[in-house]
């Protein structure tokens, strides 16, 4: 029975016991009688919503008789491991874990309407079948709300269970696979200064999670605090006694183009002083950043700010970043 409003009012008035009583009220309010059949254990639950009756399944060996090519690729891939989970039932194993029970398909002489064919499924439906198992992985849990799926890019758009020759069952290797859609990014990796993605020293998925993220641009961690960059650039990670404010507010992208740039060090401006003037100017001197000292007349000797301010990412000893 769910407590009424008068009990809730009593809880709120009696401050010493409020937390304990409210916890008891919440537990009672949320308690729901078990649904009929809910006591079934894990082995009776299908990853694809298929029936658990073992009489409806024929096993992967039967599929192999007709689908030899697909069976060979299946045995060479990672999904063969599903057959080792005998305790979960046939609905979790082999070909039928994804394609559904195959008895009716076999008895009908291979009738394609009596088996799940991914070619006829919508992107979201096909992806939901994969996620019945793969949602347990932390990196996949955001896929249903990801920008990829909302743009009709699903699991089978990038992955091929039976025809892949790349890692992670990808249709083709990175970064070429990513460039097929993200064409505006591709030229950046051919600029004089760039992250070595085309050279194969890193990949798009090192920084981005293609399956979705809580962070913009599907980044694996927050760029505005440098977390994703600090995985490699650990000398800039901090924390520092004296922080450079843009790193904590805008992140590395305040000064750098992470994909590539025509400027050294992936900088967004060809001259250091021009980049610094975005914040350190007369107009902004009384608001977000100190102004430029009067003796900095922007002659050649003062144009390279980091010649003096060497610890520009942060310092433990100097508030103006003269030393680390």
pLDDT tens-digit series, residues 269-324: 998 888 888 888 777 666 767 777 777 777 777 788 888 899 999 999 999 899 88
The label of the residue with tokens 């980049």 reads 275
Which residue among 77, 94, 116 closes a domain?
116
Q: CB neighbours of 42 closer than 8 A, spacing ≥ 6?
A: 88
The reply to whether 237 falls in a domain is: no
The DSSP output letter for 189 is G
The label of the residue with tokens 């894990």 reads 42
Start-to-end Cα distance in the chain: 64
Tell me the C-alpha distance between 205 and 189, whole Å: 15
- 63 and 111 in a single domain? The answer is yes
The reply to whether 8 falls in a domain is: yes
Which residue among 57, 92, 116 closes a domain?
116
The reply to whether 90 falls in a domain is: yes
Tell me the C-alpha distance between 97 and 170, whole Å: 20
- 9 and 65 in a single domain? The answer is no
The reply to whether 281 falls in a domain is: no
Q: What is the pLDDT of residue 136?
A: 84
- 54 and 104 in a single domain? The answer is yes
Which residue among 101, 116, 131 closes a domain?
116
- 59 and 112 in a single domain? The answer is yes
- 57 and 111 in a single domain? The answer is yes
The reply to whether 306 falls in a domain is: no
User: Can you give the residue range of the structural domain that contains 68?
Assistant: 47-116
The reply to whether 110 falls in a domain is: yes
Other residues' Cβ atoms within 10 Å of the Cβ of residue 98: 20
- 56 and 112 in a single domain? The answer is yes
pLDDT in tens, the chain (324 residues): 444 545 444 444 444 445 454 555 455 544 433 333 333 333 344 555 678 889 999 999 999 999 999 999 999 999 999 988 788 888 889 999 999 999 999 999 999 999 999 988 999 999 999 998 898 888 898 999 999 999 999 999 999 999 998 999 999 999 999 999 999 999 999 999 999 999 999 999 999 999 999 888 899 887 565 678 888 888 888 889 998 888 878 888 889 999 999 999 999 999 888 888 888 877 766 676 777 777 777 777 778 888 889 999 999 999 989 988
Question: What tokens were used for 31?
Answer: 């308690």
How many structural domains does the chain have? 2
The reply to whether 18 falls in a domain is: yes
The closest alpha carbon to 59, from 34, 91, 29, belongs to 91
Q: What is the pLDDT of residue 118?
A: 93
The reply to whether 145 falls in a domain is: no
Tell me the C-alpha distance between 136 and 142, whole Å: 11
Decide: 228 and 207 in contact? Cβ < 8 Å.
yes
The closest alpha carbon to 320, from 291, 281, 287, belongs to 291
Beta bridge partners of 159: 170
The label of the residue with tokens 């590539």 reads 260
């Amino acid at each position: 029975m769910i407590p009424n409003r008068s009990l809730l009012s009593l809880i709120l008035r009696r401050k010493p016991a409020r937390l304990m009583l409210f916890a008891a009220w919440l537990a009672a309010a949320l308690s729901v009688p078990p649904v009929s059949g809910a006591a079934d254990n894990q082995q009776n639950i299908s990853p694809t919503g298929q029936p658990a009756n073992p009489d409806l399944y024929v096993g992967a060996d039967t599929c192999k008789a007709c689908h030899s090519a697909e069976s060979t690729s299946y045995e060479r891939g990672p999904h063969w491991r599903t057959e080792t989970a005998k305790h979960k039932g046939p609905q979790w194993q082999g070909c039928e874990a994804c394609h559904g029970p195959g008895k009716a398909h076999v008895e009908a002489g291979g009738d394609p309407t009596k088996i799940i064919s991914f070619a006829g499924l919508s992107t979201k439906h096909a992806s939901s079948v994969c996620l019945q198992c793969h949602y347990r992985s932390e990196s996949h849990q955001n896929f249903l709300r990801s920008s990829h799926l909302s743009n009709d890019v699903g699991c089978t758009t990038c992955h091929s269970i039976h025809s892949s020759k790349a890692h992670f069952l990808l249709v083709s290797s990175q970064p070429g696979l990513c460039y097929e859609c993200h064409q505006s990014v591709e030229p950046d990796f051919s600029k004089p200064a760039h992250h070595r993605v085309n050279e194969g020293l890193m990949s798009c998925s090192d920084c981005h999670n293609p399956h979705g993220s809580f962070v913009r641009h599907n980044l694996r961690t927050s760029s505005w605090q440098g977390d994703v960059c600090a995985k490699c650039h650990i000398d800039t990670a901090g924390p520092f006694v004296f922080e450079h404010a843009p790193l904590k507010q805008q992140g590395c992208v305040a000064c750098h183009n992470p994909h590539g740039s025509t400027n050294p060090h992936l900088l967004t401006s060809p001259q250091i002083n021009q980049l610094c003037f975005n914040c350190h100017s007369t107009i902004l001197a009384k608001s977000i950043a100190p102004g430029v000292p009067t003796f900095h007349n922007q002659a050649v000797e003062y144009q390279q700010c980091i010649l003096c301010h060497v610890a520009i990412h942060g310092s433990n000893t100097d508030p103006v970043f003269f030393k680390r």
